[in-house]
Amino acid sequence: MSVYQATTSAPVNIACIKYWGKRDTKLILPTNSSLSVTLDQDHLRSTTTSRADTSFDKDRLWLNGIEEEIKDGGRLATCIKEMKKLRREVEDKNSNEPKLSTFAVHICSRNNFPTAAGLASSASGFAALVSSLAALYALPASPSQLSLIARQGSGSACRSLFGGFVAWEQGSLPDGSDSLAIEVAPQSHWPDIHALICVVSDDKKGTSSTSGMQRTVETSPLLQHRIKNVVPVRMEAIKKAILARDFDSFARITMQDSNQFHAVALDTDPPIFYMNDVSRAIIALVTEYNRVSVENGGMLKAAYTYDAGPNAVIYTPKENIKDIVSIIVKYFPQAEAFKDPFGLFGAQGVGEGGVVQGFNAAVAKPFSVGAVKGLIHTRVGDGPRVLAESETLLGANGLPK
């Protein structure tokens, strides 16, 4: 008897132009377009196995070993239902196809990064879910078509269906059929873009993206200005910068948009604060690093961006990553030696870090160990991957291995 299953992995993406606000909360239709960089799955990924079997009595899903409830009408149920609908279209066209759309599925998903790292896993998670079902069902769907479904799991997930540089076009149709992700440029266009993720210690439970952004939509007048006048111009400008590999413009727009996203959070009533003192100190360090470059006739060399939490993501061309890591380690001493996946620092490692010549050391105070509790060095990466049978996360009994 055949086993119908597929395993895929999907990447994390971090936006340069932020998605913040929905015009339709059920279909997850945004109030503005957004654009992100897909990060390398060699470092950060969600892996998902989906299996369809006549012996399963209902759809079930496990996330990092723990079973999650698939609530009727909820985001998981919607994605699974939509994928089965696409499978049914295949079966209707070809009666020889096994009727997988009528079988229940078992879905097992794992992230290779700890949830405690505070990195959003919903984007890679829903992208992996949708791509594993697409592989299981042998759907003839394009990544953009699949993005329409991933979007209904979590808005930002639609951008994880592509590698490289990805736009989520907001669309205008009420049914959401034109609110999808498109590839602006593949990873190979600008492979030099590296990212340093600074995992910032955070004890308090923050406001979730989903509820925070709705409060912003309801109360922030600044958001209306952003939607109408700011994002459309920035989307065009950043696409141009990416196509021209113009890091200076890319960095300026990325930092401005992160700042405006946090400004609309502050403009929400009551206000929402996602960044903390550590986040702001990292902004000061990147700003000073850029100032030194510009003052010496150079260009912007690094860009910070922050999502709905205090973690910093710093984008920089590969040639500058050593400077950035050294600066961060100097101000935020690390309990563990920096993991150097690209072997930039050689046998000696980063040591205590240091700053570039001309850097005003007084722009931030040094913090103690633990303020930045981890550093992840990665780079722009590819889109979802279909993995070998041997990578399955489900055992012969249909339960997590």
Positions in the binding site for ligand DP6 (CB under 6 A):
15, 18-20, 28, 34, 120, 122, 154-156, 209-210, 307-308
The CA-atom distances, in angstroms, between 35 and each of 158, 159, 180 are 11, 8, 11
Relative to beta strand 13-17, strand 34-38 is antiparallel
Residue closer to ligand DP6 (CB basis): 6 or 39: 39
Residue closer to ligand DP6 (CB basis): 120 or 128: 120
> Taking the chain, what is the end-to-end CA distance rounded to the nearest angstrom?
21
Taking the complex as a whole, the smallest distance from the CB of residue 232 to ligand DP6 amounts, in Å, to: 16
Taking the complex as a whole, the smallest distance from the CB of residue 305 to ligand DP6 amounts, in Å, to: 9
Taking the complex as a whole, the smallest distance from the CB of residue 127 to ligand DP6 amounts, in Å, to: 11
The CA-atom distances, in angstroms, between 214 and each of 14, 16, 93, 135, 259 are 20, 20, 41, 34, 19
**Residue 339 CB coordination number (10 Å):** 12
Provide DSSP, 197-257. EEEE---S----HHHHHHHHHHH-HHHHHIIIIIHHHHHHHHHHHHHTT-HHHHHHHHHHH
Strand partners, 375: 198
The CA-atom distances, in angstroms, between 1 and each of 54, 60, 100, 162, 395 are 11, 22, 14, 34, 16
Residue closer to ligand DP6 (CB basis): 30 or 143: 30
CA–CA separation, 305 and 151 (whole Å): 22
- With CB atoms as reference, the residue minimizing the distance to ligand DP6 is 155
Residue closer to ligand DP6 (CB basis): 125 or 143: 125
Residue closer to ligand DP6 (CB basis): 41 or 179: 179
Strand partners, 379: 194
Taking the complex as a whole, the smallest distance from the CB of residue 20 to ligand DP6 amounts, in Å, to: 6
Residue closer to ligand DP6 (CB basis): 43 or 159: 159
Nearest alpha carbon to residue 183 among 160, 203, 167:
167
C-alpha torsion 226→227→229→231, nearest 10: 80
Residue closer to ligand DP6 (CB basis): 15 or 238: 15
Taking the complex as a whole, the smallest distance from the CB of residue 156 to ligand DP6 amounts, in Å, to: 3
Q: Quick one: tokens of 189?
A: 């266009």
Residue closer to ligand DP6 (CB basis): 139 or 272: 272
Taking the complex as a whole, the smallest distance from the CB of residue 157 to ligand DP6 amounts, in Å, to: 7
Taking the complex as a whole, the smallest distance from the CB of residue 25 to ligand DP6 amounts, in Å, to: 8
CA–CA separation, 56 and 153 (whole Å): 23
Taking the complex as a whole, the smallest distance from the CB of residue 213 to ligand DP6 amounts, in Å, to: 7
